[in-house]
Amino acid sequence: MLEKTPDSLAAAVETERLDDALPAPERSGGFARRAWHFFVRLSFSSLTRRIIFLNLAGLFALVIGILYLSSFRAGLIEARIQSLLVQGEIIARAIAASATVDPDSGSSKGS
């Protein structure tokens, strides 16, 4: 049921000893390979590895989603600002067009 039996641990340790006995150029990988072997063979069961992987995948998806939504929100804010500027210009032009001065009405009232 458990993957960590004395025989499997002894075989894993023997495999690492054989890997360490090889000269440096013949070994593929260094620290990363040893860390992977520790993670896969010695430290955790299959279920634990799956749980950790799924938790890390979920965390990664959450971070990517937050970054994407943050940039999307910034784009929406920029679009809203541009829309308000255009609406302001339209309203200003409408007010300027309706506020014409009639020179006859101003001079007749003053005389």
pLDDT in tens, 68-105: 999 999 999 999 999 999 999 999 999 988 887 666 76
Go through 42-66 and write b for each residue having 16 or more CB atoms within 10 A of its CB, e for each that does not. eebeeeeeeeeeeeeeeeeeeeeee
Name the average pLDDT for the chain: 77
Look at residue 21 and tell me whether its pLDDT is greater than 70: no
The pLDDT of residue 53 is 92
- Whole-model pTM: value is 0.41
The pLDDT of residue 59 is 97
**Between 96 and 6, where is the model more confident?**
96
CA 67 from centroid of its chain's CA atoms: 4
